[in-house]
């Protein structure tokens, strides 16, 4: 719905006021009228007008004196002076005080319409200029915020890498000492002590996984570390990952079903990066599926690339939380309560790798109904993307 343009005519001559109304209202303008300075001032204080036509001489004062309160109320209001005594001095004074133009009596309908339309166009352009200025200012703010976020992300990545790197050595040393104790070197240990040491070792293994994930994620975000792009046999890579994870699936009584075509296009990708991404996705499917569950892997050529889908019969993810998957350290509540260890970094790593490889990921899931993850890898040669 278009907004109505409000005009005000302040003149002590009824013929002028009525003549202006008859010309301007059919053009779609709403026209208010006042016959004195006091009445005009009252309307100005009560309402906002897009354009005001003001007689220079009113019974109770000078129309020019209304310019200041009008423009104080709205600096973009167009003020046009009506006068029967048009002089250069009057025009200069009116313009200095903020008037846009003046009409000399007598004036006809065409001159009135033209002057009003020109004034309203000036008002429109003034608003457009302000809007453009505001947008430009906001764009500069957004650019600054983007640079600040990039700086903070770089700092976070560096801190994450440094922290994980510093933790790795003492953590490995502690794990080595525990294994030495468990092997019986040194004083004999009791059954209870062995159980406690086993529990400590399991906790340390979880911490080691976190450190490894942090290092891998930090490396995937580092634009200085270029991914080695090569032509890969994606079918062979899928079978290699399956062989690596088959013992884990068998241990949990999970059936791995691969529905691969006789041949697939070769992809241009990073062997280490893509294998890491696939291993993470397969491991999640196995980890969150119950004993006796099924993990189905499909692959097929699609849109200048290869799409791989991994479907499990696991615990699923609440639909409203799917958009948060891939946030660093995020795990859905049912995943946290499943008893399965996890850092919440696996999908973050997968997303970073796929982004740099020019691929993408999508996820469909429902609680207790399983999850389907689809990734797309390009077949055409392209440089790995920077995360900057």
pLDDT given for residue 308 in this prediction: 94
State the Cα–Cα distance between residues 281 and 244, nearest whole angstrom. 13
Residue 9 lies in a domain: yes
Q: Is 204 in the same domain as 250?
A: no
| pLDDT averages per 10-residue partition of the chain, 388 residues | 81 92 92 93 91 90 89 90 74 82 87 92 90 87 80 64 63 72 68 76 71 67 68 91 91 92 88 88 91 93 89 92 83 83 80 87 92 90 48
Cβ partners under 8 Å of residue 169, min gap 6: none
Tell me which H or E stretch contains 366.
strand 360-366
Q: Is 40 in the same domain as 9?
A: yes
Q: Is 206 in the same domain as 245?
A: no
State the Cα–Cα distance between residues 24 and 4, nearest whole angstrom. 12
Provide the CATH number for the domain around residue 316.
3.30.565.10
State the Cα–Cα distance between residues 73 and 76, nearest whole angstrom. 9
pLDDT given for residue 296 in this prediction: 95
Q: Is 206 in the same domain as 242?
A: no
State the Cα–Cα distance between residues 80 and 107, nearest whole angstrom. 13
Q: Is 164 in the same domain as 83?
A: no
Instruction: Please give the residue range of the domain that contains residue 95.
Output: 5-107
Residue 50 lies in a domain: yes
First to last CA, the chain: 43
Contact indicator for 133, 119 with CB cutoff of 8 Å: no
Q: Is 216 in the same domain as 235?
A: no
State the Cα–Cα distance between residues 158 and 140, nearest whole angstrom. 27
Q: Is 242 in the same domain as 160?
A: no
Three-state secondary structure call for residue 9 = strand
Between CA 346 and CA 352, with CA 348 as vertex, the angle to 5 degrees is: 120
Domain boundary among 167, 193, 221: 221
Domain boundary among 82, 107, 132: 107
Give the number of domains in the chain: 3
pLDDT given for residue 149 in this prediction: 76
Domain boundary among 221, 239, 262: 221
| Beta-carbon count within 10 A of 337 CB | 10
pLDDT given for residue 86 in this prediction: 56
Q: Is 343 in the same domain as 237?
A: yes
Contact indicator for 79, 52 with CB cutoff of 8 Å: yes
Q: What is the pTM of this model?
A: 0.52
């Amino acid at each position: 719905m278009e907004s109505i343009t409000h005009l005000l005519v302040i003149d002590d001559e009824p013929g002028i006021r009525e003549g202006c109304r008859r010309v301007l209202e059919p053009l779609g303008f709403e026209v208010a009228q006042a016959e004195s300075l006091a009445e005009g001032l009252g309307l100005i204080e009560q309402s906002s007008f897009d354009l005001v036509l003001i007689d220079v001489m009113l019974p109770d004062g000078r129309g020019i004196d209304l310019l200041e309160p009008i423009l104080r109320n709205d600096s973009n209001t167009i003020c046009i002076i009506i006068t029967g005594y048009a002089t250069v001095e009057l025009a200069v004074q009116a313009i200095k005080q903020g008037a846009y133009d003046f009409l000399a009596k007598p004036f006809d309908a065409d001159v009135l319409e033209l002057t009003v339309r020109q004034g309203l166009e000036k008002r429109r352009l003034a608003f457009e200029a302000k809007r453009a200025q505001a947008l430009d200012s906001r764009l500069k703010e957004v650019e600054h915020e983007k640079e600040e976020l990039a700086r903070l992300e770089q700092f976070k990545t560096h801190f994450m890498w440094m922290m994980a790197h510093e933790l790795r050595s003492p953590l490995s040393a502690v794990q080595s000492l525990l294994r030495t104790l468990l092997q019986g070197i040194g004083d004999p240990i009791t059954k209870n002590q062995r159980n406690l040491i086993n529990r400590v070792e399991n906790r340390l293994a979880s911490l080691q996984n976190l450190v490894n994930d942090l290092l891998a994620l930090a490396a995937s975000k580092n634009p200085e570390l270029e991914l080695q792009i090569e032509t890969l046999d994606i079918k062979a890579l899928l079978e290699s990952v399956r062989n690596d994870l088959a013992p884990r699936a068998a241990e949990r009584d999970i059936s791995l079903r691969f529905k691969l075509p006789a041949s697939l296009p070769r992809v241009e990708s990073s062997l280490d990066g893509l294998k890491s991404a696939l291993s993470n996705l397969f491991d999640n499917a196995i980890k969150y599926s119950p004993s006796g569950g099924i993990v189905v892997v499909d692959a097929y050529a699609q849109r200048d690339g290869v799409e791989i889908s991994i479907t499990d019969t696991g615990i699923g993810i609440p639909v409203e939380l799917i958009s948060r998957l891939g946030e660093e350290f995020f795990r859905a509540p049912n995943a946290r309560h499943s008893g399965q260890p996890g850092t919440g970094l696996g999908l973050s790593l997968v997303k970073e790798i796929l982004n740099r490889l020019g691929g993408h990921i999508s996820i469909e899931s429902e609680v207790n109904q399983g999850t389907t993850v689809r990734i797309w890898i390009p077949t055409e040669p392209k440089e790995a993307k920077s995360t900057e």
